[in-house]
Structure 1
Amino acid sequence: MKKLNHLVGAFLLSFVMVGFAQAQAPATSEVHFQDQQLEQFVAVQPELAEIRQDYSQRLESLEDPAQAQALEQEAIQLMVEAVEEQGLDIELYNSIAMAVQSNPELRERIESMMN
């Protein structure tokens, strides 16, 4: 079951940077985000990190794949709600997250906003 825990934990750890919707994002080099959108993206990160940490710890103790999957779905739902409460839709959140990965200038901008 350690392998299951590792995989589920990896899923939750990658959640923030990869996103969780199935929609395809436009080419990141062509995307321009408004300051307010970036501020919303930054503002939700602490809550997502808290959810990720809490659920990663809870998942480590599970051995039943069905229970792990249910807990994973619960974590995803909480993350979706957190993003939406910040005023972002999931597609926009994912677009920003992907752009941050591929655009060093945007990554630096986001990092400076987080400090």
Structure 2
Amino acid sequence: MTIRKTALTIALAALFAAGGSAFAQSSGGGAGQAPMPGETTPQTAALTDETVDTFVDAFVAVQEIREDFTERLQSASDESEAQAMQQEAQEKMMQAVEASGMSVQEYNEVAIALQSDPELMQQVQEKAADRM
């Protein structure tokens, strides 16, 4: 269980090391834009338990795809094939997020919110560890 939790912590850290938005190019922009008056930022928006659960489901699905493609990338014969695999992986991750009932933009917003909320991060880690 400790190894699984450590792997999960590393996976979450890797997600956030990339700026917290694994799918930034596909989120339709919005990243880095200031909120309109009256809007809340992801850090100030209250995340419901349902939203967190949906995020965890999406995160687990994304991790499974990432692990699968990481193994497949080892056998890539050249850079072109590796790039095609990475593109395919990104598309499958986006589909997995949307299949969980969350848009890619919502997924990114929750991921960003987790960076500033250690308690919520712990909650997500525990739920994801139970589902992996």
TM-score, L = length of structure 2: 0.66
Q: Distance in 2 between matches of 1:72 and 1:31?
A: 32
Sequence identity percentage: 34
1:64 paired residue among 56, 74, 78: 78
2:121 is paired with a residue of what secondary structure?
Answer: helix
Aligned to 2:31: 24
- What does the per-residue CA deviation read over 1:79-105, in whole Å, with 9 as the maximum and x for residues that have no partner? 001000011001110011122123212
Map 1:96-107 onto structure 2 (within 5 A): 96-107=110-121
Deviates more, 1:37-46 or 1:85-94: 37-46
RMSD: 2.3
1:52 paired residue among 43, 46, 66: 66
Greater helix content: 1
Q: Distance in 2 between matches of 1:89 and 1:33?
A: 15
Instruction: Decide whether the 8 Å contact of 2:73 with 2:85 is kept in 1.
Output: yes
Change (3 A) 1:107 1:98: same
Gaps of 5+ in 2: 1-12, 36-40
1:82 and 2:96 aligned: yes
TM-score, L = length of structure 1: 0.75
